[in-house]
Structure 1
Amino acid sequence: MSTISGTSNIGNSKGGKSGNLSGAGPCGRGGGGGNGGNTYNDVGASTVLLLGLTRLTKKPKVQIVDIDVADANNELAAVEYMEDMYKFYKLFNETKVFDYIQSHPEINKKMRAILVDWLIEIHKKLDLMPENIYLTINIIDRYLATEIVGRKELQLLGISSMLTTSKYEEIWAPEVNDFTKISHKGYTNQQVLVMEKKILGGLEWNLTVPTPYEYMYAN
């Protein structure tokens, strides 16, 4: 019977010499001492180092601050529904819009960027609610992810989306004439209304969605 510091037959497989456990085994080539003599000590040192790193990287629990405490007495803030609302937002965020540009033969990323910049100018000119522009862009992206739109209809999609959003977000929504005038009569009232109907049908009338504004407003 051998101990760790005693001799063992593990090293007799090749060299025929007895060796201690610290110098034998798979790491001690030929069963002799050599560089394999530090194997046992190296493993011990590595274990201690690993335990030390684990303790250092273990982060303490971060206390979550309730940002709605200040509005607890504000009936318009609807604090009691806030947790359920964000659960819904998180559930909806699991279905993100994919990169749809490649599926459109007539439009590209630059054209979308120009459309968004133009809609921001309209948003400022009509003095609409801040959340209006975020929902408008969300509607555009979700519709383009499901339907193919030509280059000539892209601007029509933009003003029709903002008209739809205005009816959802604004107290006094702009009229169809306001959007046709802004587009320099490029489209008729009927065309805007038809596109609005297509948008609502394509999105299955789902307009209650989380946008970046909800999270910015909460913070």
Structure 2
Amino acid sequence: MARSKFLGEHGEVVKQENVPNIDDGSNQLEVAEYVDEIYEYYWITEAQFSSLANYMSIQGDVTSPMRGILINWLIEVHLKFDLMHETLYLMVTLLDRYLSQVPIQKNEMQLVGLAALLLASKYEDFWHPRIKDLISVSAESYTREQMLRMESSILKKLKFRLNIPTPYVFMLRFLKAAQSDKVLEHLAFYLIELSLVEYEALEFRSSLLCASAIYVARLTLQISPTWTPLLMKHARYEVPHMRQMIILYSISSVFCKMILRFHKAARKGQLKVTYEKYAGPDLSGVAMIRPLEKLPA
């Protein structure tokens, strides 16, 4: 895809080779010499994964509203154990990948969710909850043996591939390109986390959901310009206006409209763990920010 130029805030042409580098080569933790290759892998892998849209068609005893209730509860469990953001997004991805391949009974839903949390924390976190503590939060609904069998089942069904590109990895990169402050960072993560419980969001790639969330967040905070050369380069879009960018992927502006709809519904919705979480001062209270009335024409 050609990405040679971009229209700046005042209509001037900005060449991408003049766009500043967002990586700090002196910080070894950023692995700046490898980061482009790492993200190229994420983009390629995301494109290779089959869509999870409509996967509930294989489930006879489980419904999409039940999935939303489960993930809302798992977000609360994740918060209770004070696990990392990476773990949350990998947990939901593992859950959906497994459910898209294996029909389960309704009484197994918490078991699958907790096993996905256990696996995600082992892969991403500094520590993982003890199995007995996970059983405890399920009100002793399962045994240790059941938990271990489900953990093994998920690993085998997913062929031990846990290095899945989640919304988190794209959001990190896009926010860095956005040169965001904490309020923009927290609002963008809030919007993307609201989408985790929404089954319809699975129709879209994680990278595009993240780009849409950042666009809506920048509009909400009245940040100008709403899209920049750095965002264009690292989010891989060719024109500055998100509603036009989406068309390049043959997807309509339903993307941003969906994100905005989730934002508007959060305060009144029944699945409120994310709303309550982001209403606190530690996350800049971004859940209290008034949503946009509508997207610009």
Instruction: Tell me the TM-score normalised to structure 1 length.
Output: 0.69
Which whole-Å CA distance do the structure 2 matches of 1:153 and 1:62 have between them?
54
Residues 195 and 132 of structure 1: CA distance in aligned 2, closer, same or farther (over 3 Å)? same
**Residue of 73, 97, 109 corresponding to 1:154:** 109
Query: Which residue number corresponds to residue 199 of structure 1?
Result: 154
Query: Which residue number corresponds to residue 33 of structure 1?
Result: none
Relative contact order (C-alpha < 8 Å, sep 6+): which is higher?
A: 2
Answering whether residue 94 of structure 2 is matched by residue 100 of structure 1, we say: no
Which has the greater radius of gyration? 1
Question: Per-residue CA shift, 1:10-49, capped at 9, x if unaligned?
Answer: xxxxxxxxxxxxxxxxxxxxxxxxxxxxxxxxxxxxxxxx
Which whole-Å CA distance do the structure 2 matches of 1:67 and 1:214 have between them?
18
- The number of aligned residues is 160
Which whole-Å CA distance do the structure 1 matches of 2:150 and 2:71 have between them?
18
Deviation at 1:85? Answer: 0.8
Deviation at 1:60? Answer: 5.1
**Residue of 75, 95, 99 corresponding to 1:120:** 75
Deviation at 1:68? Answer: 2.9
Which whole-Å CA distance do the structure 1 matches of 2:90 and 2:20 have between them?
26
Which whole-Å CA distance do the structure 2 matches of 1:92 and 1:84 have between them?
12
Deviation at 1:203? Answer: 0.2
Quick one: which amino acid aligns to residue 167 of structure 2? P
Instruction: Tell me the TM-score normalised to structure 2 length.
Output: 0.52
Which whole-Å CA distance do the structure 2 matches of 1:190 and 1:208 have between them?
26
Quick one: which amino acid aligns to residue 74 of structure 1? N
Which whole-Å CA distance do the structure 2 matches of 1:144 and 1:198 have between them?
11
Residues 181 and 171 of structure 1: CA distance in aligned 2, closer, same or farther (over 3 Å)? same
Quick one: which amino acid aligns to residue 36 of structure 2? E
Answering whether residue 88 of structure 2 is matched by residue 144 of structure 1, we say: no
Which whole-Å CA distance do the structure 2 matches of 1:185 and 1:97 have between them?
34
8 Å CA contact 1:68, 1:79 repeated in 2: no
Query: Which residue number corresponds to residue 212 of structure 1?
Result: 167
Answering whether residue 22 of structure 2 is matched by residue 68 of structure 1, we say: yes
Query: Which residue number corresponds to residue 130 of structure 2?
Result: 175
- 1:200 partner SS: helix
Question: Per-residue CA shift, 1:167-218, capped at 9, x if unaligned?
Answer: 1111121111110011010001110000000000000000001111111112
Quick one: which amino acid aligns to residue 39 of structure 2? Y
Which whole-Å CA distance do the structure 1 matches of 2:43 and 2:96 have between them?
19
Deviation at 1:96? Answer: 3.2
Which whole-Å CA distance do the structure 1 matches of 2:40 and 2:125 have between them?
25
Query: Which residue number corresponds to residue 185 of structure 1?
Result: 140
8 Å CA contact 1:133, 1:162 repeated in 2: yes
**Residue of 70, 77, 83 corresponding to 2:36:** 83
Gapped regions of structure 1 (runs ≥ 5): 1-58
Which whole-Å CA distance do the structure 1 matches of 2:116 and 2:15 have between them?
41
Question: Per-residue CA shift, 1:46-91, capped at 9, x if unaligned?
Answer: xxxxxxxxxxxxx95652745533x221101111111111111111
Which whole-Å CA distance do the structure 2 matches of 1:206 and 1:142 have between them?
11
8 Å CA contact 1:104, 1:149 repeated in 2: yes
Which whole-Å CA distance do the structure 2 matches of 1:67 and 1:102 have between them?
45
Residues 82 and 185 of structure 1: CA distance in aligned 2, closer, same or farther (over 3 Å)? same
Which whole-Å CA distance do the structure 1 matches of 2:104 and 2:147 have between them?
14
Deviation at 1:108? Answer: 0.8
Which whole-Å CA distance do the structure 1 matches of 2:158 and 2:51 have between them?
12
Gapped regions of structure 2 (runs ≥ 5): 1-11, 176-297
Question: Per-residue CA shift, 1:81-121, capped at 9, x if unaligned?
Answer: 11111111111111233221122111111000000000000
- 2:150 partner SS: helix
